Amino acid sequence: MRRVRYESAGGPLFLEEAPVPEPGPGELLVRCEAVGVTLPVVRKVTEAAEPIPLGGELAGEVVAVGDGVTRFRSGDRVTGLCFGHGYADFALLHEAMASPVPDEASAAEAVALVRSGLVALGALEAARPERGEAVLVTAAASGVGHLAVQLARVRGAARVVGAVSDPGKADFVRSLGADEVIVYGDDGWGEPVDCVLDAVGGELLTPAIAALAPGGRLVAYSSGGGTIQAYDLLVGARSVIGFQMARIAREKPELYERWRQELWRLFGQGLLRPRVHAEFALEEAAKAHEAIESRGNLGKVVLRP
């Protein structure tokens, strides 16, 4: 089979031939039909001291199962998170991380919806918004952000604001249900909001905190780091909540599964629509990474082995 690899931090991505892996206990061997490209993986390629397997979200058909697997069998369509080599023709999924894909969803839609949707829904849950409150989503045109905008609207937000890096993304974000769109460099971010879902971090944290109304909450789920001044929280009794999807998957599997079912329910009702920005062939993985690094994507970037 083919898979994508690199040999040094920041080094070029290239295709290599590798043996098809065999599923171990509790594992599924999946023929990959779509693989999601995420900012954390792109950052690890450029920043990690040692090369890592290029994993992440994938969707495809189960072709073999390991000992102890009870929920799936060969021929099933699944999506889930791969912690090993996922940029490949075949990949391994642990049964606990796999979710069935309904007939009406394509592989690309499944990749765009489930993992990114889980992060978006989890961040929104962490913010504890009440019906009628205002929610601001940074990176609102991203794979996670474009779903967070829709979920905030579905959950009853009175005002949804999308924050983007480029004014050219405004029409796309409004098409998702946002009432307002702001650009990061704007002076002031308009009327205060009750919740900020932040996927950017870094220097954007200061204006994001300033955008909160008294008692407002910022949920940070970015790998971009950043520093927050305690005084900025004391003024107005604002708070910051860190959210990590891996912890939910590892420690609260029942909640993880409930959120997955909620996403598919909303998809089936037409209330949540994942958008795919572009699909790249496996040998074009470098171009897919460039699309993420340039922050030009509107929705999810997907590899199609």
pLDDT in tens, 234-247: 888 999 999 998 88
The string of pLDDT tens digits covering residues 285-295 is 999 999 998 88
Rounded to an integer, what distance in angstroms lies between the CA atom of residue 127 and that of residue 164?
20
The pLDDT of residue 189 is above 80: yes
Closest CA to 241 of 202, 207, 198, 206: 198
Regarding whether 135 and 93 lie in a shared domain, the answer is no
Domain count across the chain: 2
- Predicted local confidence at residue 214, as pLDDT: 96
Could you tell me if residue 253 is inside a domain?
no
Contact 145, 139 (CB under 8 A): yes
Mean pLDDT, the chain, rounded, equals 93
Same domain, yes or no: 22 and 139: no
Residues contacting residue 290 through CB under 8 Å, at least 6 positions apart: none
What pLDDT shows up at residue 8?
Answer: 87
Residues 125 and 93 reside in one and the same domain: no
Tens-place pLDDT, residues 60-88: 999 999 999 999 999 999 999 898 999 99
- Tell which wins on pLDDT, 37 or 223: 37
Residue 109, SS3?
A: helix
Residues 205 and 164 in one domain: yes
pLDDT in the model for residue 47: 83
With a pLDDT cut of 70, the percent of the chain lying above it is: 100
Same domain, yes or no: 194 and 141 = yes
User: Does residue 90 carry a pLDDT above 90?
Assistant: yes
Q: How far is CA 75 from CA 71, 152, 234, 298, in A?
A: 12, 35, 55, 32
287 occurs within a structural domain? yes
Cβ contact 142:120 at 8 Å: no
Read off the pLDDT of each residue in 14-32 and give the average, rounded to a whole number: 97
| Amino acid code (one letter) for 63 | V
Tokens for 152? 């905030």
In a domain, 57, yes or no: yes
pLDDT score of 49 more than 80: no
One domain, residues 291 and 174: no
Q: Contact at 8 Å (CB) between 161 and 139?
A: no
Q: Looking at the structure, do residues 26 and 88 belong to the same domain, yes or no?
A: yes
**pLDDT single digits (tens) 35-45:** 999 888 998 89
The Cα 149–Cα 141 span in angstroms is 9
Query: Looking at residues 240-267, what average pLDDT do you find?
Result: 90
Radius of gyration of the chain, Cα coordinates, nearest whole angstrom? 19
Domain that holds residue 171: 116-245
Dihedral angle, C-alpha 46, 49, 51, 53, nearest 10 °: -80
pLDDT at 119: 93
Domain shared by 24 and 124, yes or no: no
Same domain, yes or no, for 174 and 223? yes
Task: Inform me whether the pLDDT recorded for 223 exceeds 80.
Answer: no
Q: Does 232 lie in the same domain as 175?
A: yes
Tell me, what's the pLDDT at 54?
94
Query: What is the residue whose two structure tokens read 């997907």?
Result: 302
Q: Examine the domain organization and report whether 88 and 122 are in the same domain.
A: no
Instruction: Quote the CA–CA distance of 138 and 180 in Å, as a whole number.
Output: 12
pLDDT band at 115 (very low <50, low <70, confident <90, very high): confident
pLDDT of 276 over the 90 cut: yes
Q: CATH number for the domain including 298?
A: 3.90.180.10
CA distance 55 to 149: 26
Distance CA 245, CA 175 (A): 27
Domain CATH for 154: 3.40.50.720
Quick one: pLDDT at residue 187? 82
pLDDT above 90 (res 218): yes
Average pLDDT over residues 259-274: 94
Domain match, 171 and 203 both: yes
Give 302's Cβ-side CA count (13 Å radius).
Answer: 28
C-beta atoms surrounding 50 within 10 Å: 6
44-48, 103-107, 217-221, 279-283: the lowest-pLDDT one: 44-48
